[in-house]
Amino acid sequence: MEDKTIVCRCSDVTIEEIREAIKKGYTTFDELKRVLRTGMGPCQGRTCMPIILREISIMTGVPIEELTPGRNRPPVNAISLGAIADQEEEDDE
């Protein structure tokens, strides 16, 4: 893969940036997520995670089956727009 190839389209992260971070010791998807924001865009890593895990595997020698995909942290509780709108009306009174 070319160095300037964008791996994470949501955050515009290139394969070169991924490789540099792995060389610095960031060898899990979650670590790369914290440093480069990969997997934090609208796709939540569905596009870039397999490519990044493959690159981690190649560079560290750890089989891809042994790597853990990143953690998914959805919102704790959903809230409806109606609840927000009702709250604003109460505040105005």
13: phi then psi, degrees, rounded to nearest 5: -100, 130
pLDDT tens digits, one per residue of 64-78? 999 988 776 665 666
In this prediction the pTM is 0.73
Contact 4, 16 (CB under 8 A): yes
Count of helices and strands (H, E) across the chain: 4, 2
CATH number assigned to the domain covering 6-92: 1.10.10.1100
Contact 38, 7 (CB under 8 A): yes
46/31 Cα distance (integer angstroms)? 17
Any idea where the domains of the chain sit in the sequence?
6-92
**62 to 23, 53, 58, 75, 76: CA distances (angstroms):** 14, 10, 7, 32, 33
pLDDT tens digits, one per residue of 4-55? 999 999 899 999 999 999 999 999 999 999 999 998 888 888 889 999 999 9
What is the maximum alpha-carbon separation in the chain? 63
